[in-house]
Amino acid sequence: MKRFLNIAQKGLDKLLFGFTRLPSEGEPIRVKRRSGILASLEEGVYATIYLTLVSGKFLMDLVLSMGAAAIHLGLINAIPFLAAPAQLGGAYLVSKIGSRKKVLIPAIFICRQLWWFVLATTLLPIESRTKLWIFILLYIIMNISGQVSGNAWLSWLSDLFPDNLRGRIVSARNGILIIIAMMSDFLFSQLRETFGKNGKQIFLLLTLAVASLAGLKTVIAFKNQWEPPHLKTPSPRLVDIINQIGKIKAVRRLVIALMLWNIAVGVATAFWTPHMMINLKMSFTKIFLYSTIVMIFSFLMSRLIWGHVIDRAGTVSVVTFCSFLISFIPFLWLFITPDNITPIWLEAVLNGLVWSGFNIAIFNLPFYILPKKNQSYFFAILSAITGIALGMGAIIGGIIAQILEDFHIEIAGIIYVNYHVTFVLSGILRGACVFLLRKIPDTRSRGMIFMLKMVGDGLVRATTNPRLILYSSTMSPRKKQGQENQVILVKKINPPDKKE
């Protein structure tokens, strides 16, 4: 009995204060690095649960219950991206303090614990529209602090994961987090159906409470994560960094291409989920099934294909190929109706196949292009510019949808509404941006044909040996157990961005 209590006490201690603990100063770098990756994995698990419950259909369910219209949906979806310039503040603090951890932890605490105030707001005896604007104000504060922490997080990852393995590490991490996202999404989708309309208020309170607790656990995990040495550096002048962006051809093309691409994506980003909920009359269970199909194919491609392809064929060829196919996705929504949602399952498959590759490649691309010196500032400016672009796209889409609120036309038995206009516009703009994305210089690129050959080889390997799904895409069965690459690689995580 005493032994059982001892095991239970240790298990509770790990559950409350982290399964991975900060290594001592005297430990070898290899041990510290492995510990840091494990802690990153643990943080990623809790962060995925948190992000699942405060975004997507759960966020839309919350704001629609407060009476949000199309313009509000556009604004709410724009806020995280318009807050991106706050990353410059994060970069400045990191350079002055000399520690990513000391900047990240307070910022992430504010970002992920203000949801307790949102929970309290839902209980206030005031008008729904007032609750909505209180939420928008809190949401702005959350996202500004989140962006401050985001720059420190990127800089931390840059030092924690080696360049030659980063693509495979990111893909392995994303694959694991996709499973966590599916599990949490399924559980709370079922709870939403169980509570029904009459129990919606209780469900919202439960969701916000769990999300806030998961957010608190991420703070604890960050405290336990090893931080590679990072010296204080003089803060460069912002004007000098911007001038360098203009002078370096590769960086300039990267910024322009991503800025225009994000505007194209942003135009429709606010309306996929509301369209499913309001116009297609899809239940939370069906929306979960849709998300599950997306995540399964994202998981399979991330786990088995894209990391391997990116590390061998380069990033730009993957970005070009995936963005070309992504441009067709919005047009599939023109054929989905409440009476025939069959095309949405095809869209889900394509969505998972190509967005997974695009997200991994576009995440890795700046690491190879941005200068190493003052890299955190380059990341901050890149995030600020592209974030503002996506935010402006979301606001433009919201304005268009609001202006066309009464738009209603029937063609060939299919009714088209204001949301469809934003879908078509987004698809056209995405297609135009493909030509800009493919011109981003990539010294590692071995061409489109070689990239497609690598994809084909990966598919053959996966279909002939399904057991590969059990291994990280970074692991080779021929490597010996003690090799450092294998140790570094099997453990890594943080949440994939899913976009339509």
**62 within some domain:** yes
Q: What is residue 495's predicted lDDT score, i.e. its pLDDT? A: 35
H-state helical runs in 196-283: 200-223, 238-247, 249-269, 272-274
Whole-angstrom distance, CA of residue 5 vs CA of residue 18: 19
**175 within some domain:** yes
Max alpha carbon distance in the chain (Å)?
73
> Against a cut of 0.85, is the pTM above it?
no
Closest to 63 in 3D by CA, of 268, 204, 212, 214: 204
**14 within some domain:** no
Q: What is residue 493's predicted lDDT score, i.e. its pLDDT? A: 31
**341 within some domain:** yes
CATH number for the domain that contains residue 271: 1.20.1250.20
Range(s) of the domain holding residue 85: 31-472+481-489
The 10 Å Cβ neighbour count of residue 19 is 15
Tell me the two tokens of residue 359: 């997200």
Q: What is residue 351's predicted lDDT score, i.e. its pLDDT? A: 93
pLDDT means per 10 residues in the chain (500 residues)?
A: 68 63 68 76 89 92 91 92 84 80 90 94 91 96 90 77 67 77 90 88 94 92 78 72 80 88 92 92 91 86 81 84 93 93 94 90 82 76 86 93 90 90 95 88 75 82 67 40 29 39
**197 within some domain:** yes
Degrees to nearest 5, angle at CA 334 with 292 and 284: 30
**253 within some domain:** yes
Q: Under the phi-then-psi rule, with left for phi > 0, alpha for psi from -120 to 50, and beta for the rest, what region is 447?
A: left
Whole-angstrom distance, CA of residue 177 vs CA of residue 439: 32
Q: Total domain count for the chain?
A: 1
**49 within some domain:** yes
Q: What is residue 394's predicted lDDT score, i.e. its pLDDT? A: 92
First-to-last alpha carbon distance for the chain, in angstroms, is 53
**10 within some domain:** no
